[in-house]
Amino acid sequence: MPEVAVTISPPELNIFTGRAQQFTATVTDTDNAAVSWSVQEPNGGSINSSGLYVAPVVAGTFHIVAASAADPTRTATATVHVTLKPKEKEKDKDKEKDHKDFKEVDKEHKDKDKEKDFKDTKDKEKEFKDKEKDKEFKEKDKEYKDKEKDKEKEQKDKDKDSKEIKEIKEIKEKDFKEKEQKEKEKEKEKEKELKEKEKEKEKEKEAKEKELKEKEKEKEKEKEKEQKDKEKDKDKDVPDKVHHLETMAMPDASVLANEAPPEALNGDAAGRAFIRSTERPAIGPVPDGLAS
């Protein structure tokens, strides 16, 4: 919003004591063009509500101030240099006359303007206060609405962040559970594989033990068979050897009867005895190799 600006004309003035000068003020950036006039110094002369300035009777530099009615804080200042007039009779008379006229005019203006200024000032003050209140209200209302918007936005951001955090947390929990489930399944598979391997090892061990026992049994059977075969062979060899020995020891009885002299039937001249055909020769102990 543009600020109210005030300019004054003329901005600087050289004037003799007691003389009058009309000032004008221009107000911009507002619909209210009214201003209030004043002299900054107590003894710097006087100025009415229409901007008519009358210089004081003393020389000096003074300042005229015009303040905006719309915004009294916005002002403009004009500088007035007052000098003494030449001391001539006519000029003195003019001075007195001007002074008298000024006083009359000033008194008249002051009386009229006083009431008007008072009323205008009150109206302006009220208008200004109303504008200030309205401005303040609008600013506060805008500030309140902005705060409410910020709060609403902040709450939405919090809700959004909270929702995102919740979703992330749920995803992490889900991932953790899935990972944990997978780990458990892996452990179960490992345990199963380990048990299967142990079972296979047990089976292999049992199979080896069974195979070993069977081999031992076969060896035992083979040994027993060999032993029995040896015993059978021994039993079979004994009668054959006995028969052989009998055959070797006994000559044929017909030979002994025909060829041997009678004395030989009981023994020879050397006293050696012969075995008769009816006698069985005595068999000595069976050799170890023939014993059954």
pLDDT at 12: 97
C-alpha angle 210/213/217, rounded to 5°? 135
User: Does 269 or 131 have the greater pLDDT score?
Assistant: 131
- Are 35 and 69 contacting, i.e. CB atoms less than 8 angstroms apart? yes
Mean pLDDT of all residues in 117-123: 72
pLDDT at 41: 95
Contacts of 23 (CB under 8 A, 6+ apart): 8, 9, 10, 37, 47, 51, 52, 53, 64, 66, 78
pLDDT at 260: 52
Q: How many CB atoms lie within 10 A of CB 53?
A: 23
Residue 233 DSSP one-character state: H
User: Does 291 or 1 have the greater pLDDT score?
Assistant: 1
Tens-digit pLDDT profile for residues 3-30:
899 999 999 999 999 999 999 999 999 9
DSSP of 244-260 = HHHHHH---HHHHHHHS
Q: Is the dihedral of CA 193, 197, 203, 204 positive or negative?
A: positive
pLDDT at 88: 41
User: Does 292 or 257 have the greater pLDDT score?
Assistant: 257
Domains in the chain: ranges and CATH: 1-85 (2.60.40.60), 253-289 (no CATH)
Contacts of 99 (CB under 8 A, 6+ apart): 18, 57
Flag the least confident range among 76-85, 88-97, 147-156, 190-199. Answer: 88-97
pLDDT band for position 261 (cuts 50, 70, 90): low
User: Does 271 or 232 have the greater pLDDT score?
Assistant: 232
Say if pTM beats, i.e. exceeds, 0.75.
Answer: no
Per-residue buried b or exposed e for 105-120, using 16+ beta carbons within 10 Å of the residue's own CB? ebeebeeebeeebeeb
pLDDT band for position 89 (cuts 50, 70, 90): very low
pLDDT at 248 over 70: no
Cα atoms in the Cβ-side hemisphere of radius 13 Å centred on 135: 7
Flag the least confident range among 21-35, 113-127, 157-171. Answer: 113-127
Mean pLDDT of all residues in 267-272: 52
User: Does 275 or 163 have the greater pLDDT score?
Assistant: 163
